[in-house]
Amino acid sequence: MKNPLSPKYSEEDNRKLVKRALDGDRDSLDELIHLHQPFIYNVAWKMSHDPDDAMDLTQETLLKVITKLAQFNFKSSFRTWLYRIVVNEFLQAQRGQRAIKFQTFEEYGAALDSIPNPDLTKEEEISLKELSREMQIRCLSGMLMCLNREQRLIYILGETFGIDHNIGAEIFNISKQNFRVKLHRTRKDLYNFMEGKCGLVNKSNPCRCPKKTKFLKSQGLLDEAKMQFNIEHKQQISDYAHENYEEVADKVNDKYYTLFRQHPTREDFDKKSAVRAIIEDRSLEKIFST
């Protein structure tokens, strides 16, 4: 999967697909969706903390794109047009509210502190390696949920996926300086929390994923058969995140932000897009005949 918000993006190729799709070519529409679906899904996964919610959010967003496609006037960048829709949908979506209680960092930190750190033998640590990885990713994902939606999405796009700040400013419809300020403040909020709590960032912190994993497994709260994050997906965000070199000096701690880039991504979508059945629905023909 390629990051469509990277410098390698081809505006010309996307415009050709849009024109053919608007002329009634459903294969071109499917190809257009297929190009953007993986990236949108993986951002949604980080945004929602749940793979099923992420798929639903992705489908709902892509349907919104399809129904509005005829409104694209070819006077602006298709990428900017598309991802403004994505950003608006992600910021407004209510999905996942039932499963996730958005917490403050203080509440989240207290919840982590309440999980015991039982003694762990070397053998236990080895046997719990994969489940501990699941615990680590869940924990880091939970930290993102302590941010408000705008902060979370700006951080996911600007830091974790490394999009160019000019593009970030365009799709959020704010100035580049404002985008940089918002991203910097969010980085600091996350870093300050992790520096004080996370043993992966600061070894003097008591929080240890393997020990907490042992306790949570004993309580039936973690199970190798029910992992949501540390599963068969081998690609990492870092494999296709664009490094924004102009902002390297603004990194408050290299180790802390790379933890999020080590998380898995999903790329094993069907060859046809997740919305193919809906694309083929004859009730949508009127959208492409205007």
Q: How many CB atoms lie within 10 A of CB 39?
A: 23
Computed over every residue of the chain, the mean pLDDT equals 82
At residue 133 the predicted structure's pLDDT band, cuts being 50, 70 and 90, is confident
pTM, two decimals, is 0.83
Q: Which of 41-50, 102-111, 266-275 has the highest mean pLDDT?
A: 41-50
Query: Which of 90, 68, 60 has its CA nearest to residue 275?
Result: 60
**Which of 76-90, 121-135, 229-243 has the weakest average pLDDT?**
229-243
- Which one has a higher pLDDT value, 122 or 202? 122
Average pLDDT rounded to a whole number, residues 219-242:
71
Hey, CA dihedral for 275, 157, 91, 85, is it positive or negative? negative
Q: Is the pLDDT of residue 108 over 60?
A: yes
The whole-angstrom separation of Cα 121 and Cα 127 is: 10
Give the pLDDT of residue 240.
Answer: 55
Average pLDDT rounded to a whole number, residues 76-103:
79
Give the pLDDT of residue 14.
Answer: 95
Q: Is the pLDDT of residue 285 over 70?
A: no
- Run of H or E residues at 105: helix 105-113
Q: pLDDT per residue over 237-260, tens digit each? A: 555 565 554 544 455 555 666 777
Give the pLDDT of residue 20.
Answer: 95
- Which one has a higher pLDDT value, 130 or 205? 130
Encoded amino acid at 12, one letter: E
The whole-angstrom separation of Cα 125 and Cα 131 is: 10
Listed by start position, the domains of the chain span: 11-288
Q: pLDDT per residue over 155-182, tens digit each? A: 999 988 888 899 999 999 999 999 999 9
Give the pLDDT of residue 284.
Answer: 55
Percent of the chain with pLDDT over 70: 78
**C-alpha distance from residue 279 to each of 27, 43, 58, 67, 288 (Å):** 10, 23, 15, 10, 11
Residues in the chain: 290
Average pLDDT rounded to a whole number, residues 106-125:
91
